[in-house]
């Protein structure tokens, strides 16, 4: 069953996927030292991360707020952009089409580096010190069965 993008139900599934971390298959594609670095970086991630749909045309929520403590998502909420932007330390935003591409498997690292999703709020240098952590952690949600609201297709 597909979940509607950025609803609370989708957010709860995203939290579980985020906390589960990369699959064994994903881990097998890179050297152990890389994953050791990711695991070390995870311990230092303590922030509120907002994920947003810029210029949203989707039928439904367009902002998530994630509470991260030592790299673990302890809470996640589908909420208003105004509230989330006020509380978030970092906000990553992309267009609806960019999020569709990401959810269809477009590489998360390339999504960040090619500016499909942009850091709209937060200290750029602090965020990118842990770029590989973000890449691998956010990639964990890409396998969620997702649709983008009524009438807009998947």
Q: Residue 68 is part of which domain span? A: 3-142
Residue among 92, 96, 72 nearest 84 (CA)? 92
Q: Residue 80: which pLDDT band, with cuts at 50, 70 and 90?
A: confident
- Residue 150 falls inside a structural domain: no
- Residue 127 falls inside a structural domain: yes
pTM above 0.85, yes or no: yes
Q: Which H or E run includes 103?
A: helix 96-103
| Average pLDDT, integer, range 66-72 | 97
Alpha-carbon gap, residue 117 to 11, rounded angstroms: 18
How many structural domains are present in the chain? 1
- Residue 15 falls inside a structural domain: yes
- Residue 131 falls inside a structural domain: yes
Q: Residue 27: which pLDDT band, with cuts at 50, 70 and 90?
A: very high
Residue 6, Cα to own-chain centre: how many angstroms?
A: 10
Domain of 87, CATH number, reads 3.30.1050.10
pLDDT value for 84: 84
Alpha-carbon gap, residue 110 to 33, rounded angstroms: 21
- Residue 154 falls inside a structural domain: no
- Residue 152 falls inside a structural domain: no
- Residue 9 falls inside a structural domain: yes
How far are the Cα atoms of 27, 54, 89, 143, 151 from residue 67, in angstroms, in the given order?
Answer: 25, 21, 10, 21, 31
107 exposed, middle or buried (CB, 10 Å; 0-12, 13-18, 19+)? middle
- Residue 153 falls inside a structural domain: no
| Average pLDDT, integer, range 3-14 | 94
| Average pLDDT, integer, range 47-58 | 84
pLDDT tens, residue by residue, 96-106: 899 999 999 99
């Amino acid at each position: 069953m597909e979940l509607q993008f950025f609803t609370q139900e989708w957010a709860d599934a995203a939290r579980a996927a985020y906390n589960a971390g990369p699959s064994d298959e994903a881990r097998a594609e890179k050297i152990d030292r890389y994953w050791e670095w990711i695991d070390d970086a995870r311990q230092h991630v303590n922030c509120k991360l907002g994920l947003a749909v810029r210029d949203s045309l989707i039928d439904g929520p367009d902002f998530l707020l994630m509470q991260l403590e030592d790299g673990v998502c302890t809470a996640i909420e589908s909420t208003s952009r105004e509230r989330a932007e006020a509380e978030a330390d970092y906000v990553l935003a992309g267009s609806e089409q960019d999020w569709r591409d990401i959810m269809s498997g477009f590489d998360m690292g390339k999504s960040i580096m090619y500016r499909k999703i942009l850091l709209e709020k937060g200290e750029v240098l602090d965020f990118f010190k842990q770029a590989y952590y973000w890449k691998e952690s956010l990639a964990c949600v890409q396998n969620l069965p997702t649709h983008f609201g009524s009438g807009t297709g998947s």
